[in-house]
Amino acid sequence: MRALQRICGVALPALLALAACAPAPQPQPRSQERQPARSASAADALPPSPPLVRAARSQIGATRLYDPAYVRLSYPGGDVPYARGVCTDVVIRALRTQGIDLQQRIHEDRIAHPQAYPARWRGLQADANIDHRRVPNQMAWFARQGWQREAGPRVADAHAGDFLAGDIVAWDLGGGVLHIGIVSDRKTRDGVPLILHNIGSGTQEENLLFGYRIIGHYRPALSSGAALAAR
Residue ranges of the domains in the chain?
3-28+50-218
* CA distance linking residue 178 with residue 8, whole number of Å: 6
In this prediction, residue 44 carries a pLDDT of 56
In this prediction, residue 8 carries a pLDDT of 47
In this prediction, residue 222 carries a pLDDT of 82
Q: What is the mean pLDDT of the chain?
A: 82
Is 81 exposed, middle or buried, given 0-12, 13-18 or 19+ CB atoms closer than 10 A?
exposed
In this prediction, residue 94 carries a pLDDT of 98
In this prediction, residue 45 carries a pLDDT of 62
Q: Which of 86, 108, 74 lies closest to 181 in space, CA to CA?
A: 86
Distance from the Cα of residue 191 to its chain's centroid: 21
Predicted TM-score (pTM) of the model is: 0.81
Measured from the Cβ of residue 50, the count of other Cβ atoms closer than 10 Å reads: 20
∠ Cα 111 84 89 (to 5°): 35
155-199 confidence digits (pLDDT tens): 456 789 999 999 999 999 999 899 999 999 999 999 999 999 999
> What mean pLDDT do residues 50-70 have?
97
In this prediction, residue 25 carries a pLDDT of 44
Distance from the Cα of residue 215 to its chain's centroid: 12
3-state secondary structure of 46: coil
Does the structure show a pLDDT above 90 at 226? no
Decide: 66 and 26 in contact? Cβ < 8 Å: yes
Q: How many CA atoms lie within 13 A of 31 on its CB side?
A: 8
Does the structure show a pLDDT above 90 at 63? yes
15-47 confidence digits (pLDDT tens): 333 444 654 445 555 544 444 444 445 445 668
Does the structure show a pLDDT above 70 at 154? no
Range of lowest pLDDT (17-21, 53-57, 59-63, 120-124):
17-21
In this prediction, residue 212 carries a pLDDT of 95
Does the structure show a pLDDT above 60 at 225? no
